Amino acid sequence: MAHSAVPPGAEGKVRKLPVQGRRALPAADPEKRKRLLLSAVQTFGRRGFHEAKIAEIAAEAGVAEGTVYLYFRNKEDLLGCVFDETMDGVLSQAREIQSAEGEAGERLTQLVGLHLSFLARDRDLASVFQIELRRSARLVERFSRTKLSEYFRLLDGVVKEGIASGELRSDLDPRLAIRILFGAADEILSEWLLSGKAKPAADAEKLVGTLLRGFLACKCEPAERRVPRRGRTTS
């Protein structure tokens, strides 16, 4: 998922920032910070993290280059904030889905749908998540231990509830199951991003339905393919 890069002459600005200044300062303008984050998504997504320059991000946001350092330590910190704050919103919705009533398969469909939809609606953001964040082992490790770990725990909770209720097979390995779900959704998004197609090759119902039914034909089922029950949509 990238190495820090600070333009020549800016290192002193970064070192002078207090620890609490790593995010927005108390007197900072939240609207200006939001513009910088949106500008970073667009610039990183189209230029790439390593090629993008702080000056470009500032210009796109309509602020002076030095203003960026009032809100973020450096380019890597800016990328991290894009990930953290985007994931905060996704995780808030995911917690609601995980804790809601309903069958495990239905809730898994909604969680995978959330994963697919929040990236498929913005190619620049998808490029940041699917390409730029993965170019640094250090960043991957940092994020995997926080936001992604919670997302996996939410999926794990639904899978285990499905096993306990008898909806899912008793010998199912939850750890393997959630990695299959996440990995399949991740690959669908990566293929869509690189292909330039208008939308991903599969939606959540098709993906989760295929995994729940498996690849083998079942003699107990009618010849017609069953359509998975449509879950509630999340925005």
Q: Tens digit of pLDDT for each residue in 24-34?
A: 454 478 999 99
The length of the chain is: 235
Residue boundaries of the structural domains of the chain: 11-73, 76-213
**What SS3 class is residue 105?**
helix
Q: What is the pLDDT of residues 169-227, one digit of tens each?
A: 999 999 999 999 999 999 999 999 999 898 998 899 999 999 999 888 866 555 554 44
CATH code of the region 11-73? 1.10.10.60
Euclidean distance between CA atoms 55 and 6, whole angstroms: 10
Who wins on pLDDT, 17 or 161? 161
User: What Cα–Cα distance (Å) separates residue 189 from each residue in 27, 130, 160, 196, 215?
Assistant: 39, 8, 26, 11, 21
Return the axis-axis angle of helices 204-213 and 174-195, rounded to nearest 10°.
Answer: 140
Question: Is 60 exceeded by the pLDDT of residue 86?
Answer: yes
**Percent of the chain scoring above 70 in pLDDT:** 79
Who wins on pLDDT, 71 or 18? 71
CATH code of the region 76-213? 1.10.357.10
Euclidean distance between CA atoms 122 and 112, whole angstroms: 17
- Residue 27 amino acid letter: A
pLDDT at 35: 96
